[in-house]
Amino acid sequence: MTRGKRGGVACGDWVDIAAAGDGGVIERVLDRSSLLYRADAVQEKLIAANVTQALVMVATWPGWDEDLLVRCLVAAEHAGVRVRLLLNKIDLTQRRAGARRALSVFEGACPITELSVQDGPDLLRPLLSGEVSVLVGPSGVGKSSLVNALVRGADAATGAVSVALDSGRHTTTHARLYHLDAQSDLIDSPGMQVFGMHAVGASALDAQFPEFRAFLGKCRFRDCRHLEEPDCAVRAAVEGGAVPPARLAQYAAIRRTLGA
């Protein structure tokens, strides 16, 4: 438990602990190197602290919410955490091609690794070595099954996928850290539902799209929103084929929700 006000501690935090009764009490949360969280206008939900990379998992089935996926990637970029997309269940061959096409728009934003639970551990172990990784994604994509394959004795709960709703059931209710070895940790997080962008803000949103960065600061107007303004370098990059049009559309959809 924490002394005084509850909350404010994330999975992955380093803390000072004082003895109290038969256990201990958290006296202080030490400085963080990173913090991944989701926030709306009212409250924020801490996901993981001191992580070096975010593994954002989707699957060939169930399908994913593109807006939620984009917001998750933006939140990780804003936290200063390296991002890698994982496409799981590629053994479902009839769905693989469509899922690959849907994810191809993100190829300029982050690496994409395709896997299944059968080959996932062997593919991921080199990527996890020496890192503090957080596994993020919607319910039903196979996060807990992958954790069980990676960590002996993890016994993470797994759940069924609803065919009618094309979605998974929430089985992981809180973030949990697993020690893979002396230098490597993996945090399994609950299925993502909402990623508010209030912590990012309208003015910083464009910098969280890696494909835009080479063109930022080159627009006619310093406060260009990259929406309808003339002589916008980002929109010119889209027209010239340097940035996928879908990425600009994703940015514009979030930007309009933030106003300004």
Question: Is there a domain that residue 48 lies in?
Answer: yes
Residue 243: closest CA among 215, 203, 217: 215
Residue 173, pLDDT score: 53
Q: What is the mean pLDDT of residues 53-63?
A: 93
Q: Is the pLDDT of residue 240 over 90?
A: yes
CATH number at residue 135: 3.40.50.300
Residue 108, pLDDT score: 95
Single residue among 138, 166, 188 that ends a domain in this structure = 188
Residue 242, pLDDT score: 97
How many structural domains are present in the chain? 2
Question: Is there a domain that residue 15 lies in?
Answer: no
221 shares a domain with 181: no
Kindly give the pairing relationship between strand 82-88 and strand 112-114: parallel
Q: What is the CA radius of gyration of the chain?
A: 20
175 shares a domain with 75: yes
239 shares a domain with 180: no
The domain containing residue 127 runs over which residues?
35-188
154-190 CB burial, b ≥16 within 10 A, e <16:
eebebeebeeeeebbeebbeebbbbebeeebbbbbbb
Q: In this predicted structure, which of 25-34, 153-162, 218-227, 232-241 has the lowest mean pLDDT? A: 153-162
Task: Give the pTM.
Answer: 0.85
Are the C-beta atoms of 208 and 200 separated by less than 8 Å? yes
Q: What is the mean pLDDT of residues 77-99?
A: 94
Q: Which residue has the tokens 């201990």?
A: 24
248 shares a domain with 151: no
The pLDDT tens digits of the residues spanning 139-150 come to: 889 998 899 999
Q: How many CB atoms lie within 10 A of CB 212?
A: 23
Residue 28, pLDDT score: 92
